[in-house]
Chains A and B, each alone.
Chain A
Amino acid sequence: MTAAYRETARVTPASSWKKTVRSWLPKRWYAHLILVVACFMSGIPLFYALIVSTQTNAEVFRYQFTPGSGLESNWNVVFYERHLHTYMINSVIMTAGITIGKTVFSLLSGLAFVYFRFPGKWLVFGFVLITLMMPTEVLIIALFRFINDLDWQNTYYALIVPFTASATGTFLFRQHFASIPAELSEAAQLDGANPLQFLFRILVPMSWNTIGALAVVQTIYAWNMYLWPNMIISDPDMQTIQTGIGTLRLGGGALRFGPLMLGTVIVSLPPVIVFILLQKQFMSGFTLTRDK
Chain B
Amino acid sequence: MVVSPVVLMVVGAVVGAVALAFVFQRAGGRLLFGLGLGAIAGAFGSALFMVPLDYCTFEAERESLDRVFGAIFVLAGIALVVTPVGWLSGKLLRHESLMSGEQTQGTFRHWWIALPLLAPTLTILILFLYYPSLETLRLSTMLSRLGARREVFVCVDNFTRLVDDPAYADTFIRTMYMSFFIVVLSMSLSLLIATMAYLPLRGASIYRILLVWPYAMSPAVAGIIFLLMFNPSGGLVNYLFGKWFGIKLGWLNDPAVAPWTVILASVWKSMGFNILFYIAGLQNVPKDLIEAGAIDGAGLLRRFWHIVWPMLSPITFFLVVTNLTYAFFETYATIDYLTPGGGPLQSTTTMMYRVIQLGVQNNDMGKAAAQSIVLFLTVIGMTVVLFRTGGRQVNYGV
The chain A residues found within 8 Å of chain B, CB to CB, are 1-5, 8, 26-28, 30-32, 34-35, 38-39, 41-43, 45-46, 48-49, 52, 60-61, 63, 105-106, 108-109, 111-119, 121-122, 124-125, 127-128, 131, 133-146, 148, 161-167, 170, 175, 178, 182-186, 189, 195, 198, 220, 223-224, 226-227, 230-231, 242-243, 245-246, 255, 257, 260-261, 264, 267-268, 271-272, 274-276, 279, 283, 286-287, 290
Contacts and interface: CB of A to CB of B under 8 A. Distances in A.
A198 B107 CA distance: 12
Interface in B329-369: 329, 332-333, 336-337, 352, 355-356, 359-360, 365, 368-369
Nearest to B377: A138
B201 to A, nearest CB: 6
Given A4-B290, A245-B224, A141 B107 contact: no
A165 B108 contact: no
Nearest to A143: B132
B103 interface: yes
A146 B333 CA distance: 23
B201 A31 contact: yes
Contacts of B234: 60-61
Contacts of A260: 224, 228
Nearest to A8: B294
B121 to A, nearest CB: 4
Interface string B75-106: 00000000000000000000000110101111
B44 to A, nearest CB: 18
B199 interface: yes
Contacts of A246: 220, 224, 337
B291 interface: yes
A105 B136 contact: no
B380 interface: yes
Contacts of B332: 137, 226-227
A124 B98 contact: no
B271 A116 contact: no
B289 to A, nearest CB: 9
Given A144-B359, A275-B213, A108 B118 contact: yes
A143 B132 CA distance: 5
A247 to B, nearest CB: 12
Nearest to B199: A31
Contact of B369 (A137, A142, A163): A142
Which 7 A-B residue pairs are closest in the complex by CB-CB distance?
A182-B106, A224-B218, A275-B216, A165-B124, A226-B333, A185-B106, A142-B135
Contact of B210 (A43, A142, A268): A43
Contact of A138 (B105, B136, B211, B214): B136
B155 to A, nearest CB: 19
Q: What is the interface of chain B mostly: helix, strand, loop, or mixed?
A: helix
B212 interface: yes
B122 interface: yes
A136 B124 CA distance: 13
Nearest to B294: A4
Tell which of B121, B139, B287 has the most Cβ of chain A within 10 Å. Answer: B121
Contacts, number: 290
A139 B280 contact: no
Given A182-B106, A185-B108, A290-B318, A146 B211 contact: no
B35 interface: no
A165 B128 CA distance: 9
A179 to B, nearest CB: 9
Given A4-B290, A45-B229, A246-B337, A141 B129 contact: no
B199 to A, nearest CB: 5
A170 B103 contact: no
B108 A28 contact: no
A196 B120 CA distance: 15
B325 interface: yes
B111 interface: yes
B256 interface: no
B197 A35 contact: yes
B55 interface: no
B12 interface: no
Interface string B182-219: 00000001001100110111100001011111111111
5 contacts: A116-B111, A135-B325, A148-B146, A224-B219, A274-B216
B112 interface: yes
Nearest to A116: B114
B129 A283 contact: no
B232 interface: no
B379 interface: yes
B216 A46 contact: no
Interface in B285-324: 287, 290-291, 293-294, 300, 303, 314, 318
B192 A34 contact: yes
Nearest to A61: B234
B220 A5 contact: no
A39 B207 contact: yes
B216 A48 contact: no
A5 B300 contact: yes
A134 B216 contact: no
Given A45-B268, A134-B133, A268-B218, A165 B290 contact: no
Contacts of B379: 135, 138
B217 A186 contact: no
A142 B101 contact: no
Contact of B105 (A182, A272, A274): A182
A136 B128 CA distance: 9
Tell which of A2, A3, A139 has the most Cβ of chain B within 10 Å. Answer: A139
Contacts of B356: 140, 227, 231
Given A42-B210, A122-B98, A135-B329, A146 B131 contact: yes
B159 interface: no
Contacts of B214: 42, 46
Contacts of A272: 213, 216-217
Contacts of A116: 107-108, 111, 113-114, 117
Given A42-B210, A42-B272, A141 B369 contact: yes
A128 B157 CA distance: 33
Interface string B209-243: 11111111111110011101101001010010000
B305 to A, nearest CB: 14
